[in-house]
Amino acid sequence: MPTLRSEAIKHCENCGKELFGRTDKRFCNDGCRNQFNREKAAREKQKAHDNLPEIFKIIKRNYEILQGYSLKGLHEDEAIFTDTWRLKEQGFNFKFFTSQVIERDGERINCCFEFGWYEEVSSTCSMVYRPRQAKI
């Protein structure tokens, strides 16, 4: 009595050609496997960078908003205050910054290049000038 074989026909995951031989085979040869893996890695790398242009725009917008407060020329111990909601209303995004400074008193200042800010408890935002943060 012949044994029934009900194997589904498998195809190469790269080129689609019909596969013969071992049942766990995924590709017709090393070349196809390598090409598949190279393209898969390239797709994943591209996916990881998909949000970058949007983040650049946010950082640029944050920088332009901070520029509008004339922070240049402030001394290290000086700050300009504004309401946090006012910055938000202008489109400021507090999540994105280019560097961070931890001051002597432990205060963390987020910087967008040379302009920094930190939120006060009272919904006020202090803005400072830290030219060293824009130097590489």
Given the rule CB under 5 A, which residues bind Zn ion? Answer: 12, 14-15, 28, 32
- 38 by Cβ neighbours in 10 Å (0-12 / 13-18 / 19+) ranks as exposed
| 3-class DSSP state of 26 | coil
Cα separation, 59 vs 97, in Å, equals 6
Cα separation, 97 vs 105, in Å, equals 21
* Closest distance to Zn ion from the beta carbon of 17 (Å): 5
* Closest distance to Zn ion from the beta carbon of 31 (Å): 8
Cα separation, 89 vs 110, in Å, equals 19
CB-facing half-sphere around the CA of 67: CA atoms within 13 A: 7
* Closest distance to Zn ion from the beta carbon of 111 (Å): 51
Query: Judged by CB, which is closer to Zn ion: 34, or 51?
Result: 34
Query: Judged by CB, which is closer to Zn ion: 15, or 42?
Result: 15
Query: Judged by CB, which is closer to Zn ion: 41, or 134?
Result: 41
* Closest distance to Zn ion from the beta carbon of 14 (Å): 4
Query: Judged by CB, which is closer to Zn ion: 20, or 53?
Result: 20
